[in-house]
């Protein structure tokens, strides 16, 4: 059974669910999931898991992300991006480059961010965006996020400076809304702002260089082997033959070398355990003097030490 990760370069206009549906047809399986939604307007890295590899997705969702984006200052939209109607326009002609740099600096590091009201966050069981579209005013609670990097690459003044386009790179923690960064930068500068372009270039250890378009994947389904995916994603532990046998039956073994320290494997941040053959056997968490399996992967699931790609069986998705 084909199992592994597929790193997709999501096209503009597609929802993440659309991409999952296409991959189900390409891979010939219903068991496909994704590790973090991208808005339809956005392009770039969307990590998909096939079959057994869907069990890795929960550990990918919480990793840091990197984006390139364009923020337009001087216009506010209902969605905080270019897909929504402009609700207010204020000239940005008096906004200096220095003020933009100061605004970006203030939004770098640990911050409290109010997500865009047109988001998939549930409010009393209903998606926030659905409530907004039905005419309801939604105010979401602020949440802590971390902006590791917020770099300005270009500032372009359009229409005599009425609007200002700022090209940026943002590296951030999981749960960050780049649309909300654009909104907050514009509001802090007193002119409003929204996002006009967004491309995700990195999800955890998986980069845009590894990503393939849907057209490319239809010609050759390139799948990142589970063992290679796990080696890049989490701390590694090499098992002996005896330990491999014990873990394969769900039994505990001696704790890893980081046990009792800040580097100890946990259920939320486990270690990937590999058989002497290089095959991914399990995900382990340290507990006292022992390591216990969080997940056990049955042998022969496509998680061996192959080239990291699989051309699939010719099924188009």
Q: Which two tokens stand for residue 92?
A: 């940005």
Q: Which two tokens stand for residue 299?
A: 């042998």
Asked if 317 and 24 count as a contact pair (C-beta separation under 8 A), the reply is yes
Asked if 248 and 281 count as a contact pair (C-beta separation under 8 A), the reply is yes
φ and ψ at residue 66, rounded to 5 degrees: -125, 140
State the catalytic residues.
Answer: 39
Query: DSSP 3-state assignment of 69?
Result: strand
Check residue 85 and report its DSSP letter.
Answer: P
Asked if 278 and 303 count as a contact pair (C-beta separation under 8 A), the reply is no
Could you tell me where the DSSP H helices lie in 225-285? 226-233, 241-248
Buried b / exposed e over 232-252, threshold 16 CB at 10 Å, is ebbbebebeeebbebbbeeeb
Owner of token pair 């022969």: 300
Residues 6+ apart with CB under 8 A from 159: none
Check residue 128 and report its DSSP letter.
Answer: H
Asked if 4 and 30 count as a contact pair (C-beta separation under 8 A), the reply is no
End-to-end CA distance of the chain: 17
Sign (positive/negative) of CA torsion 175, 176, 178, 184? Answer: positive
Q: Which two tokens stand for residue 239?
A: 């098992």
């Amino acid at each position: 059974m084909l199992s592994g990760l597929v790193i997709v370069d999501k096209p503009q206009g597609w929802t993440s669910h659309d991409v999952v549906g296409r991959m189900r047809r390409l891979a010939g399986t219903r068991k496909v999931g994704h590790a973090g939604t991208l808005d339809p307007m956005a392009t770039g890295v969307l990590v998909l898991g096939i079959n057994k590899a869907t069990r890795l997705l929960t550990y990918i969702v919480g990793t840091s992300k990197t984006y390139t984006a364009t923020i337009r200052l001087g216009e506010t939209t209902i969605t905080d991006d270019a897909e929504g109607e402009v609700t207010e326009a204020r000239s940005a002609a008096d906004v200096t480059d220095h003020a933009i740099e100061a605004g970006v600096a203030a939004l770098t590091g640990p911050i409290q961010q109010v997500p865009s009201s047109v988001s998939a966050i549930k409010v009393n069981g209903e998606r926030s965006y659905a409530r907004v579209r039905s005419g309801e005013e939604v105010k979401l609670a602020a949440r802590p996020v971390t902006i590791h990097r917020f770099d300005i690459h270009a500032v372009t003044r359009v229409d005599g400076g009425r609007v200002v386009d700022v090209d940026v790179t943002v590296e951030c923690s999981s749960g960050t809304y780049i649309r909300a960064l654009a909104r907050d930068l514009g509001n802090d500068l007193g002119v409003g702002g929204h996002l006009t372009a967004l491309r995700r270039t990195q999800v955890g250890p998986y980069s845009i260089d590894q990503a393939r378009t849907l057209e490319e994947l239809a010609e050759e389904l390139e799948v990142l082997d589970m063992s290679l995916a796990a080696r890049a994603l989490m701390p590694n532990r090499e098992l002996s033959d005896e330990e491999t046998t014990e873990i394969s039956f769900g039994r505990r073994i001696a704790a890893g070398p980081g046990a009792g320290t800040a580097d100890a494997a946990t259920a939320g941040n486990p270690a990937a355990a590999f058989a002497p053959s290089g095959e991914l056997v399990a995900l382990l968490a340290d507990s006292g003097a022992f390591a216990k399996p969080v997940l056990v992967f049955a042998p022969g699931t496509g998680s061996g030490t192959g080239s990291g790609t699989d051309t699939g069986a010719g099924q188009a998705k």
